[in-house]
Amino acid sequence: MQQQLHSHTFDNQLTLLGHTMPWLRSAAFSLSTPSGCIHDPGDLPGLANFSCEMMQRGCGDRTSRQFVESLERLGVDRSASVSTAHTSFGGAMPADGLFDALKIYSDLLRRPLLPEDQVEEGRMVCFQELRAVEDDLAQTLMMELRRRVYPEPWGRAPYGTDESLQAIGIEDIRRFHQEAFLPKDTIVSVAGLFDWEKLKDHVQSILADWRSRPTEIPTGALPELGVRHIPHESQQTHLAIACPSVPYADENYFLARAAIAVLGSGMSARLFSEVREKRGLCYTVYATLHTLREKARLLCYCGTTSERAQESLDLILAELKRLAEGVTSEELDRVKVRLKSTLVMQQESSGTRSSAMAGDWYHLGRLRSVDELSKLVDALSVDRVNAYLADNPPQPMAIVTLGQKPLETPDEILPSSA
Amino acid sequence: MKFCHHQLDNGLDIVAEVNEQARSQALAFFVRTGSRDESDNNSGVSHFLEHMMFKGTAERSAEEVNRELDAIGSQSNAYTSEEQTVYYTAILPEYQDRGVDLISDMMRPALRTEDFETEKQVIVEEICMYDDQPPYGAHERCMQAFFGEHPLGRSVLGTVESVTALTPESMRAYFDLRYSPGNMVLVAAGKVDFDRLVEHAKTHCDAWQAVETSRNAPSTLGQSGVHLRVKESAIQQYAVQLSAAPPVEDESRFAARILATILGDESGSRLYWKLIESGRAEYAAMGAYEYAGAGVFLTYLGCAPDDAEENLACIREVFHEVHQEGITEDELLLAKSKITSSIVLGSERPSGRLFSVGNNWIQHGNHRTVQEAVDFYQAVTPSDIADLLAKYDLLASTTYLAGPLTEWEGATA
């Protein structure tokens, strides 16, 4: 398995990753540039997202329409997104279109037209996204929770505000593109049917002469933590809880991940079983490990009708407390089988593999083979998971609710030093 | 790739597309039943029953079902539509026997009264959840308005009232009638040992009693009209529009999907360039969906309330134009390239092939390879599109609006 994984860092500090999967007919790439919304200037939130939108409006000698149509002729299923740390562009396609698609995207990174006459259209698109989030109550809730539990700028969402979107001009976008889209720490991750040496030569020819400049991430205020209620005339009350946890690069990551899976992932998870299956209090309830590079949080979510929301919240808090007492070997065995199945199934999709590799490189600075990940999962034992939980009992640091009425929350939820 | 088929004496079909190169496998029961097979007395029962199928059998408690699904590392779920209910799982090949044993056993549920009452609350939560989410029930309500008394107008979720009124007895009666082996298919895709699959299925399914099932599938072109639901807390305005399209029996459904791609694909379509790229709408997309006896072109719009009228006029203009002037050769080529690519990408995973193989078997009673599916789309000509447009009027539509707007000209509540 090991020989199918490749990495190469060019002189300009751009890294190319490859996983050759000759059993597939497709190829997929993921371009991650270190230009996420943490790089938005304090007075112009939403600039990274607006810039990402504008970069897709023509590049090199292609207009906006030619850009879209040339990719569609290659059968590229394309995506673009702005996260906390990255602006990412992705594409999955029948394998013979890979090199042509990468050439088009190298132009997008280096030579976007950023057409002034389309700024108003781009601004409208960003406003539409902002409005859409406002109608998505679960997303609104989780955005507020992340804002409260990570230090600035790591808890940000990429959408900006009405005022900032209105204020952003083409010069801001051009400057952001020049300053934030750089080869240093950019990751080009490719998975699927291709030849590694030919890919390396191709990327050498289109991206290796791109020049680098240093960037800095601003640091800001510590997280607010605590409790917040967002009033909304909805039928359901949405509630979310955050506790400190460990990031992907931490040696205890898989211990934390396994414990959180026992709590809230899968059909036999404790939250699903206690809140939904036994009592019928909700349709959706889960817990997940949300990880940035330096910090991570255990996040729980539940959507439940208002009159049952208090009971749901109390149950989830009780399950968080009970988790500190440890997991059983049956619970852990189920989690291990599920983690390993996911690893195998990942190899059946070029798209999933290319983004997983980009994640590995960002968090660890190296790739993890399936064998290595399998060994990490095999090494999970009840003793190790429970020792970790005993040392790190989940302690809620913030609760956000959205719905008709606020809920009663425990007094001990106080700002911690996380 | 090898296609295998076996039928048990009681009429249960077992089909598999075996791919020795695959690393995983996917299994499913497709049941030919959904909201169109319900009546006023049991509205929502198909979907509620889908939930109850996870609540245990004579052999297993609800907790045991959930634990075993996780213990074999499965990614499992189920869904209910107007005309089918599907239970599916993706697993590694070494868990095939346990997977087949488990999902086969699940198909003969205990339907215990105490579980029924608890799960009823979960269904109510699900109904409330969708009512808080865009497009605020506009899709189901538009189906109701478009199809009227036709069975396809029945809601999949039902209402809080109809679900609350359901009894365990009526659910058991519905189950006995609809989950007859001849009305179900066991489908597998990926790295599958077909002989073992049949052997294990037999031990569980051979004893299932066959009863006569039927479905009422009259043809219809639907109704026209405009309806408005006020949702004060919403920020954006949402609209769902339906017009008639070819039914599942009609070969022109391939042309219909190509036309929908040209007009309303999420990227690069006529609606995309007019409404999305310009930032006039959050989304504006169109798809073609086919059912037994009837089909629909479904158009979705989400935008600022003040722009809704102009945007709907723009969509009408796009439809009017294509009726007048047809499509270009270049648009046809581009649509074929997109559809081909998405079929190829979607078929790489066994879980992707599972749905193509299962849907095709339950709708047409045959198997189509990936290449055959691609060929059907590649064969569509501009004159096929012209014939389609002559037969189906995109402008004869029902529109359902939901959002903060309190008035709309000509709209009924």
The pLDDT tens digits for A167-226 are 999 999 999 999 999 999 999 999 999 999 999 999 999 999 998 766 666 677 888 899
What's the pLDDT tens digit per position in B60-73? Answer: 999 999 999 999 99
Measured between CA atoms, how close is B48 to chain A, in angstroms?
Answer: 13
pLDDT computed for residue A415 by the predictor: 47
- Reduced to 3 states, what is the DSSP secondary structure of residue A235? coil
Could you tell me which chain B residue has the CA closest to the CA of A129?
B282
CB atoms within 10 A of CB A251: 7
**Contact call for A266 and B21, based on CB within 8 A:** no
**Contact call for B70 and A23, based on CB within 8 A:** no
What's the pLDDT tens digit per position in A6-30? Answer: 999 999 999 999 999 999 999 999 9
| Closest residue to A132, CB basis, from B118, B276, B282 | B282
**Average pLDDT in the B348-365 region?**
96
Question: Is residue A365 predicted with pLDDT exceeding 60?
Answer: yes
**Average pLDDT in the B299-318 region?**
98
**Contact call for A236 and B125, based on CB within 8 A:** yes
**CB < 8 Å to A68, chain B:** 267-268
**Contact call for B279 and A128, based on CB within 8 A:** yes
What's the pLDDT tens digit per position in A214-261? Answer: 666 667 788 889 999 999 999 999 999 999 999 999 999 999 999 999
What's the pLDDT tens digit per position in A24-77? Answer: 999 999 999 999 999 999 999 999 999 999 999 999 999 999 999 999 999 999
**CB < 8 Å to A342, chain B:** 73, 75
Question: Is residue B353 predicted with pLDDT exceeding 50?
Answer: yes
In angstroms, rounded to a whole number, what is the distance separating the alpha carbons of residues A414 and B189? 52
Inter-CA distances, A74 with A194, B38, B233, Å: 15, 45, 43
Measured between CA atoms, how close is A82 to chain B, in angstroms?
Answer: 17
pLDDT computed for residue A215 by the predictor: 63
**Contact call for A131 and B282, based on CB within 8 A:** yes
| Chosen from A131, A162, A284, A378 to mutate, greatest number of chain B CBs within 10 A | A131
What's the pLDDT tens digit per position in A326-346? Answer: 999 999 999 999 999 999 998
What's the pLDDT tens digit per position in A267-286? Answer: 999 999 999 999 999 999 99
**Contact call for A348 and B76, based on CB within 8 A:** no
Could you tell me which chain B residue has the CA closest to the CA of A94?
B341
| Closest residue to A75, CB basis, from B67, B72, B341 | B341
- Reduced to 3 states, what is the DSSP secondary structure of residue B337? helix
| Chosen from B277, B347, B374 to mutate, greatest number of chain A CBs within 10 A | B277
Whether a cis peptide bond, with omega within 30° of 0, leads into B93 is no
| Chosen from A29, A267, A307, A340 to mutate, greatest number of chain B CBs within 10 A | A267
Could you tell me which chain A residue has the CA closest to the CA of B67?
A268
φ and ψ at B190, to 5 degrees? 100, -150
In angstroms, rounded to a whole number, what is the distance separating the alpha carbons of residues B79 and B366? 22
In angstroms, rounded to a whole number, what is the distance separating the alpha carbons of residues B286 and A59? 28
pLDDT computed for residue A211 by the predictor: 85
Inter-CA distances, B192 with B182, B202, B353, Å: 23, 16, 13
pLDDT band at residue A1 under the 50/70/90 scheme: very low
What's the pLDDT tens digit per position in A296-324? Answer: 999 999 999 999 999 999 999 999 999 99
pTM over 0.90: yes
pLDDT computed for residue B240 by the predictor: 98
| Closest residue to B63, CB basis, from A121, A273, A342 | A273
Q: What is the share, in percent, of chain B residues with pLDDT greater than 90?
A: 99
CB B188 within 8 A of CB B90: no
Distance between terminal CA atoms of chain A? 38
Question: Is residue B44 predicted with pLDDT exceeding 80?
Answer: yes
ipTM of the complex: 0.93
**Contact call for A267 and B76, based on CB within 8 A:** yes
**Contact call for A305 and B125, based on CB within 8 A:** yes
Measured between CA atoms, how close is A215 to chain B, in angstroms?
Answer: 31
In angstroms, rounded to a whole number, what is the distance separating the alpha carbons of residues A290 and A246? 9
**Contact call for B124 and A305, based on CB within 8 A:** yes
**CB < 8 Å to B302, chain A:** 128, 132
pLDDT computed for residue A327 by the predictor: 98
| Chosen from B132, B300, B339 to mutate, greatest number of chain A CBs within 10 A | B132
pLDDT computed for residue A417 by the predictor: 40
Q: Poorest-confidence range of A147-151, A224-228, B38-42, B277-281?
A: A224-228
pLDDT computed for residue A3 by the predictor: 63
φ and ψ at A328, to 5 degrees? -95, 165
Question: Is residue B230 predicted with pLDDT exceeding 70?
Answer: yes
Inter-CA distances, B93 with A303, A341, A345, B59, Å: 35, 10, 11, 24
Question: Is residue A418 predicted with pLDDT exceeding 50?
Answer: no
In angstroms, rounded to a whole number, what is the distance separating the alpha carbons of residues A60 and A218? 32
Could you tell me which chain A residue has the CA closest to the CA of B19?
A23
